[in-house]
Chains A and B, each alone.
Chain A
Amino acid sequence: MSDQLFDSDRVSAGARWRDSTFMRIVREPMGALGIFLVALVVLGALFADFTGYSPIKLAMRDRFLDPSLAHLLGTDHLGRDLFTRVLHGARIALGVAFIATGISFIGGLVLGMIAGYGPRWLDSLLLLVLDSLRSFPTVMLALALVTLTGPSLSAVVLVVVIANLPSYARVVRAQTMALKATEFVLSARSLGARSWRILAVHIMPNLVGPLVIIVAMDIPVVITIEAGMSFLGLGVRPPTPSWGSILNDGYAFIRESSWPAIAGGLPIIIATLGFTFLGETLRDHLDPRLRQDG
């Protein structure tokens, strides 16, 4: 009898693994592809230092070399190995993605809860400010901001936050308002619980899940903003290799050699497609209600 129990436990653990979210995602072609591409980016960022080349040291004798075994993606206009630069660029892309996303997440959560739960005048005020922030086309916002502050990584993060936070806050606000009217919140209030406690214990746990999915799905957008700003020279300053600046250099020297431009664009495509595919599949499995395509 005890053997039987032991065996059935093992079977159920195996079944659980097979049915777990991870495996379900892998089984979808889009999901598997997404995981693969994202893994490429992450691994690239991790092992950037092991290529044997420096991303910033000049080597003027090796300018515009075509791809070969020595230089997997060729070299740029200053003789630097493009593959190494791309891998280092992954660090910047992922770093900005997670920092900016984290800030937007927390900010959106807090502001959304305040707007949804607090007094109406505060809600109206916050809504007006948030909607006004949202009415800037992102590039215009970036251009205007950088005019005043000068190009930097923090400027990029700030642009991303301003571009994304209002949408998150709106979603959180709507959910908060819906939750505010539910039974368990009403009963907590009648028992005299203080607002911040209600928010923290009853409301916030219900907001975090869907918000994480929404925010995760924006990672490709964040990567795009960072790359775009760097492309325009509004982000990281040379010689730091951001994918956008590699692409920009490639564009400037496009008649000399195609490879720098290709090398700059390729990781952007891989990263945005990978995170998008992954995000879509994740959302379909975790919360199909958020689907936008029926």
Chain B
Amino acid sequence: MSGNLLDISGLSVAFRTKRGPLKALRNVSLGVGKGEIVGIIGESGCGKSTLINSIIGLLPANAEKPSGHIRFADEEIVGMPEARLQQLRGERITTIFQDPMTALNPVLSIGTQMTAIQYRRTGSTAEKRRRAIEFLEKVRMPDARSRLDQYPHQFSGGMRQRICIAMALLTEPDLLIADEPTTALDATLEVQVIRLIRELQRDIGCSVLFISHHLGAVAELCERVAIMYAGEVVEHGPVRDIFRDPRHPYTRKLLECDPGRVLEPLARLPTIGGELPDLVRLPQGCIFEGRCPDRFARCRERPPVETVRPGHEAACYKARELVNP
């Protein structure tokens, strides 16, 4: 898979806990091409945060050294020295976080924060401020020039998220990681943010890794998507294929349970029964086996990754059989 901007292969990350190592990510493989928008769908506990932290090299202190590879451009991120990571973070790989209300430093003006992240570049402060204003205008902030010296609490939540997007893009990164950027926003704002990201991505040409559990947002924005469950990638492929023809039971269940798909009034929203498995004492076979409606005897052994069609893979014995009626 050379030619990809970001190439994650066989990544496994474990955390030291009192009960033993907690295997948060197991053998995760994912690729993001240049200029591509890739989505990751997964619920809480699927390992998204750990994945992001691994890519930007900000794993917490109790994380063991990851095994596997994360290749970004031509460099290996696993084991990269912190000094080099600091060069990449905020310049070539940037991040948008989930909660805009707490993402910005409350005692520094947004101008200060937006120029501070440009510290690696040469240029006067005036130039950096101009760049900040330029991008604030791109995210359609009215009156950007005069608002540059205001403080975060003087902006609404939607505006703050736009500031964060502007910050993430003003260095024209190669890779933008968006960690649930719309989860804390209401539906109207969500639409605006998605459109903004798409527009700016076309403008700058960066790759985007878009993590969310809003299926609709992913469907609208992404070209390819990976489905994560409890630390593994259970299915991945082009967005259209996944949404129309999901082959992993978990993906199918997710789509079924999406409130956006419910066509008739129901007494209860559908859910997936059962609970997440214990990541310290992992089950032997398929990770989804405990909650899978299609399980059978062989599921006690780890399933292989089956290719459904070129570019579309699912980790299930029945991947090739389960076809939507």
- A touches B (Cβ under 8 A): no
